[in-house]
Amino acid sequence: MTSGKSPGPALHTKILAGLLIGGVLGLLANTQLGGHHPLVDWVNRYLAYPAGQVFLRMLFMIVMPLVFASIALGVAGLGDLRKVGRVGGKAIGYFLATTFLAASTGLVFVNMAKPGAGLDPEVKAGLMEAYSGAASEKVSIAKGGGFGVDTFVNIVTRNPVKSAADGDLLGLIFFALVFGAALTLIPAGKARPMLELLEAVNAAVIAIVGMAMKLAPYGVTALIFGVTSRFGLALLAPLGGYILVVLGALLFHAAVNMSLVLRFAVGLSPAVFFDRVRSALITAFSTSSSSATLPAALSSAEQGLGVPPQVAGFVLPIGSTMCMNGTSIFEGVTVIFLCQVFGVDLTLGQMVAVVVMAVITAIGAAGVPGGSIPLMVGIMAMFGVPGEAIAIVLGVDRILDMSRTTVNVYGDISAVVFVARSEGVWKPSMVPPAEKAPA
């Protein structure tokens, strides 16, 4: 017998409400009292700042263990693919290539539109003065850092523990990749205890992500109040541009990039492909979960497109965790947008590094609501953007999450037809007539 009590608003609704409440209260404080009024300063110092920092510190706390455990486990899990030969290699190669293409598309869009570059220079200076803190040294490094041979050499960390302590994500990612690969080379009996430990660490970290996200509505309210009470509407104005850039890049990748791949690498009409996978895309948009969409994606691939079950059943489960076209666009655009907001000018080499990290961290992101947020916070800190900046985009993440998951699933199913066509077990003429496709 149920109690009849309503479960209450969803988490994303609470976060959006927190964004609105914090923004409205902050704007009222700014317009009615002024950004430096003693009462506003007191509220920011003793209420908003502590509440926001607790949320941020929980995110920072799990960045390094999340990166190491998820990436090491992902690489170690590829060990079994050696047994299936070229099919696994083709699938992984396709995932990486399309995810890199997606991240590069996001980079082009955000640098062409520059949604975060329209702020008044005084506002940018005020942001850095208010929020830089320990990030100030990294800002100077980001602005003056070069890109050359040393950049590649420094990726190979001397001390992975020091890299974790210093927030050196590239060094830790490299160690996690090597560590995961090493686990595939030693006897299974010796590797199993370490894999079980990593799985337990990963599960515990994901649970902490869940706890942190429960604090998100309050943390976002506090962080947004702190920003808007100081700077008014000036900081919120670019947010609409940011949303349009993310959605535009996602749409371009799906409608243009992937259409070209389907047309020339697979030989399938993009319109036919879209028609046959429509039900899976609707499921992805409504659930915001590639994993939850897996049954619908399998049905679309096997019944809608006529792909043999042995290929679809192998490629799609891997793709639901590895093929993250939409997530890589979102992460890359968000990091560079926030760099623009805070006046951090990245060199071309550093932007390439953002793309590479967006690809790797998108693949390693936890498959739970907010799973990519800690990873983005870590990348932001590397380039001198304070963690408080995540509040600017967190409140509008829900619609972007739904959209990027749809693009993720689109890429997953496209990988199935690519691999099946390249293996000679399927061709476009095998696509069933429209009336036989699942509704």
Q: How many domains does the chain have?
A: 1
Q: Is 111 a domain residue?
A: yes
Q: Is 4 a domain residue?
A: no
For the cut 70, the answer to whether the pLDDT of residue 381 exceeds it is yes
Q: Where residue 411 falls among pLDDT bands split at 50, 70, 90?
A: very high
Q: What pLDDT score does 155 carry?
A: 77
Mean pLDDT, rounded, for 143-165: 70
C-alpha–C-alpha distance, residues 26 and 152, integer Å? 44
Signed CA dihedral, 339, 344, 348, 351: sign only? negative
Q: What is the CATH number of the domain that holds 322?
A: 1.10.3860
Q: Is 1 a domain residue?
A: no
C-alpha–C-alpha distance, residues 106 and 131, integer Å? 26
Q: What pLDDT score does 147 carry?
A: 45
C-alpha–C-alpha distance, residues 423 and 425, integer Å? 6
C-alpha–C-alpha distance, residues 170 and 205, integer Å? 20
Give the amino acid at 275: D
The two tokens of residue 337 are 């947008």
Total Cβ atoms within 10 A of residue 269: 14
Q: Is 245 a domain residue?
A: yes
Percentage, residues of the chain above pLDDT 70: 85
Q: What pLDDT score does 146 carry?
A: 42
Residue 141's SS3 state is helix
Q: Is 316 a domain residue?
A: yes
Percentage, residues of the chain above pLDDT 90: 28
Does residue 329 contact residue 253 with C-beta atoms inside 8 Å? Answer: yes
Mean pLDDT, rounded, for 295-300: 90
Signed CA dihedral, 354, 359, 360, 365: sign only? positive
User: What are the tens digits of pLDDT across the range 50-67?
Assistant: 888 888 788 778 878 877
C-alpha–C-alpha distance, residues 12 and 395, integer Å? 8
Q: What pLDDT score does 142 carry?
A: 41
User: What are the tens digits of pLDDT across the range 279-291?
Assistant: 899 888 877 777 7
Helices (H) and strands (E) in the chain, counts: 21, 0
Does residue 331 contact residue 372 with C-beta atoms inside 8 Å? Answer: yes
Residue 395's SS3 state is coil
Q: Which residue has the tokens 């959006």?
A: 16
Q: Is 285 a domain residue?
A: yes
Residues spanned by the domain of 224: 12-436
Q: What pLDDT score does 371 carry?
A: 59
The two tokens of residue 375 are 């990873």
Q: Is 3 a domain residue?
A: no
Phi-psi region of 426 (alpha: psi -120 to 50; beta: other; left: phi over 0): beta
For the cut 90, the answer to whether the pLDDT of residue 437 exceeds it is no
For the cut 50, the answer to whether the pLDDT of residue 243 exceeds it is yes
For the cut 50, the answer to whether the pLDDT of residue 18 exceeds it is yes
Q: Where are the beta strands (DSSP E) in 159-288?
A: none
Q: Is 2 a domain residue?
A: no
For the cut 50, the answer to whether the pLDDT of residue 73 exceeds it is yes
Higher pLDDT, 365 or 360: 360
In whole angstroms, how large is the CA radius of gyration of the chain?
A: 22
Signed CA dihedral, 359, 363, 366, 370: sign only? positive
Higher pLDDT, 394 or 78: 394
For the cut 50, the answer to whether the pLDDT of residue 136 exceeds it is no
Q: Dihedrals φ, ψ of 169, to 5°?
A: -65, -40
Q: What pLDDT score does 108 carry?
A: 94
C-alpha–C-alpha distance, residues 358 and 370, integer Å? 15
The two tokens of residue 82 are 């050696």
How does the average pLDDT of the chain come out, rounded?
Answer: 81
* pTM: predicted TM-score of the whole model, two decimal places: 0.74
For the cut 70, the answer to whether the pLDDT of residue 204 exceeds it is yes
The two tokens of residue 298 are 């399998």
